[in-house]
Structure 1
Amino acid sequence: MAMRPKTEGDPIQPSVDQLKKLLKWYDIQGRGIPPEDFFTHMRKCCVLVPLFLKAGQWHVLLTVRSSRLRSDPSVVAFPGGQRDENDADAARTALREAEEEVGLLESQVEIVARLFPFVAPPDYCISVFVGIIPPDFIPIPCSSEVEEVFDIPLKAFLGKDYTVRETDFYGVRFDVPYFAVPNKPLTVWGLTAFVNVMVAFIAYRIRRNFRFMRNVAHAQYEEKDIFADLKLLFFYCGHRAVLNRKIIPLSNL
């Protein structure tokens, strides 16, 4: 594909068509990769990364989870949630949750890529879908789940003005980035920060390395390839989660 990221320097604002081509390069659909069923013991969640153009710049739509929720209250997150047995597939889960949480209709979303999933504590396998939504979309937050809906320039996740905290997950030491939200007393961190960094690096063709794992030596880190980082992050952490639970992984791990 001609649009494979390969340049360095100042990021160039991609057009809609260019963004689609860039994301398609990292789309795991049709690559023979079965993220939903790879680690069958893990709980499946799906999130939507809604992107839209605002004043000529790509923005990402984010939510602040309700303070009344038992899980991750008041945390900045993407629209998303756990798979329901009635969901036809992972994409349907992400779209259903987006409609429930912020009023985003399925007809308003063009899903352009499914990125490598993430493994998150304690036992979640999270599928990530990137979609383009209308620039004039007006969120209707569900008050029982969402306290606030806001957007932030995707370029914000290219900057180096963030803090890092080290955490341990199944024996892997992670550098977790914390990004302050401009003009708001909010912070984007954890999985939401990881995903935004990945999407920003893809969209703006950044080759700078963003190392997540401290104590994992791997030659792919020298390649400065986000796709390689995603694969390493998923397979290594997922495998460690399997070992921790003493469950035999599938033979194709």
Structure 2
Amino acid sequence: MNYQTIQVRFQDSVCFLKIYRPDANNAINDQLIEECHQVLSLCEELITVIVLEGLPEVFCFGADFQEINSQMSSGQQRQASPEPVYDLLMKLATGPYVTISHVRGKANAGGVGFVAASDIVLADTSAQFSLSELLFGLFPACVLPFLIRRIGFQKANYLSLMTQPISVQQAYQWGLVDAYDMSSETLLRKHLLRLRRLSKTGILRYKRYVSQLYDSLLHSKPLALAASKEVFSDPDNLELICRYVETGQFPWER
């Protein structure tokens, strides 16, 4: 298929899904979410491993503020639902395949959501991770259930409140990253050599069992969706986003 926001290639039972929006800092828009859903649906039957990647300088930088600003400037009523985003993270976390986030460069906001929802996270030494939402009156409502499951409440709380990046070394100590190396491509190949040996049936049964053991993601969904809708429909927050896009000024810069 001809995708506009991602690049996809299949190698035996492995799917490589690259977020590819270089002109938009690899930000998340509705089309990216839809195309990722399409690929993950294709992978359910035969694929055993999905490798999620970004650009060398930026893995994924979160919501596309430029798109939000364009909608507001044209007078469109912003009615985008957060449910497709949450459902995509659920597919990464509970789908019948092993999901690997291969992170280079910056992972911010929703990009951290992709990371937190993955089964395995590999990174190179350039990787850094941040949740910047509170700078604009937002907060990572859809990300937090996955992040808390991975690194615990207090570390996720600290990352949300401080809004500043942490290094790959810190992320590794916290358990957000499973392994890192200067040559993350080599690290990825080593992991794929092992993971390719796993059977599709074994992975399916294992992921189903684990998702039942830790079913908080499903129970958290209504709360996460309601909170996300609230902050992204607040006119004051939208004004701060548009001002940042148009002037480059942060909310506290008057």
TM-score of the two chains, using structure 2 as the length reference: 0.28
Identify the structure with bigger relative contact order (alpha carbons < 8 Å, sequence gap 6+): 1
Greater strand share, structure number: 1
Q: Which has the higher helix share?
A: 2
TM-score (normalised: structure 1): 0.28
